[in-house]
């Protein structure tokens, strides 16, 4: 798995149905019980890179604050091949399963951006996921919330009686040398049973600007003159292989636990 160039190539996207073979997208859910954890920015960076590599993507805004709706409202996403955005703001979970099913018919990869709290909608999204991604910032509270989110995902696994690969990614970290707090967070994550993406998403102005400008990362030069765009795109290009490697470790962990 670690040798693959991108995570979406790792995941078979064709299921057999009566009358032929239909494309059914895989579901990646961004989850954290903490608001402002970096889920939306991470979702946009992942979607940008998938689109750049030729995959089709359907983003689901499952947050009542509607951050992706705000992102879309700038009007710079219209006409982008392979990009779809759906909205599901019912936190009671009454519609999220149908929304995910609709999204899976539209795209290779479905990315669900959940609300920063534990609710039924998030539970249902996790239960229908092929992978859960937990963004964790460099703070003790962020670490605790990330580990709490992982525990919640494991509870859903037990209920579903299946393994749901779960990966943490450190976001909004300093681009300079790690300070004591960041090193401590790193050590505690490494000591946990939560596979961590080896690539950190640094706190780059270009990532924020992609959201604020309402565009994909690769289209940012058309909408903003913010600095550091080349480095941001270089980091995004490394993200999918890093997620793939952590994804593989999650499966290895499942095999070890089964022994």
pLDDT of res. 1: 36
Q: What is the pLDDT of residues 147-182, one digit of tens each?
A: 999 999 999 999 999 999 999 998 887 766 667 777
pLDDT of res. 252: 64
* Look-up of token digits 């509607």: 66
pLDDT of res. 172: 81
Burial status of residue 222 (CB atoms within 10 A of its CB: 0-12, 13-18, 19 or more)? exposed
Q: What is the pLDDT of residues 22-57, one digit of tens each?
A: 557 899 999 998 777 899 999 999 999 999 999 999
Q: How many whole angstroms separate alpha carbon 46 and alpha carbon 50?
A: 6
Q: How many whole angstroms separate alpha carbon 59 and alpha carbon 29?
A: 10
More confident: 141 or 182? 141
DSSP string, 62-115: E-TT-HHHHHHTTS-STT-TTEEEEE---TT-TTHHHHHHHHHTT-SEEEEEE-
Residue 36, CB half-sphere, CA atoms under 13 Å: how many?
4
SS (H, E, C) 189-235: HHHCCCCECCCCEECCHHHHHHHHHCCCHHHHHHCCCCCCHHHHHHH
């Amino acid at each position: 798995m670690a040798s693959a160039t991108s995570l979406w190539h790792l995941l078979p996207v064709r299921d057999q149905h009566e009358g032929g073979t239909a494309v059914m997208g895989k579901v990646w859910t961004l989850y954290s019980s903490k608001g402002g954890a970096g889920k939306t920015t991470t979702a946009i960076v992942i979607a940008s890179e998938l689109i750049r590599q030729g995959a089709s993507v359907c983003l689901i805004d499952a947050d009542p604050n509607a951050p992706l709706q705000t992102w879309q409202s700038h009007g710079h996403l219209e006409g982008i091949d392979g990009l779809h955005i759906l909205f599901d703001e019912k936190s009671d979970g009454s519609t999220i399963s149908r929304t995910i099913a609709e999204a899976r018919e539209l795209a290779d990869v479905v990315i669900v951006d959940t609300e920063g709290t534990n609710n039924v909608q998030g539970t249902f999204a996790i239960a229908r996921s092929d992978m859960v991604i937990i963004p964790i910032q460099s703070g003790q509270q962020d670490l605790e919330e990330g580990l709490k989110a992982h525990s919640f995902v494991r509870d859903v696994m037990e209920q579903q009686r299946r393994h749901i690969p779960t990966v943490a990614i450190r976001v909004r970290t300093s681009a300079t040398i790690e300070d004591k707090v960041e090193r401590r967070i790193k050590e505690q994550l490494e000591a946990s049973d939560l596979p961590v993406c080896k690539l950190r998403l640094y706190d780059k102005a270009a990532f924020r600007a992609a959201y604020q400008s309402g565009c994909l990362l690769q289209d940012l030069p058309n909408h903003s003159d913010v600095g550091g765009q080349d480095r941001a795109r270089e980091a995004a290009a490394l993200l999918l292989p890093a997620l793939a490697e952590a994804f593989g470790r999650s499966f290895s962990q499942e095999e070890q636990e089964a022994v």
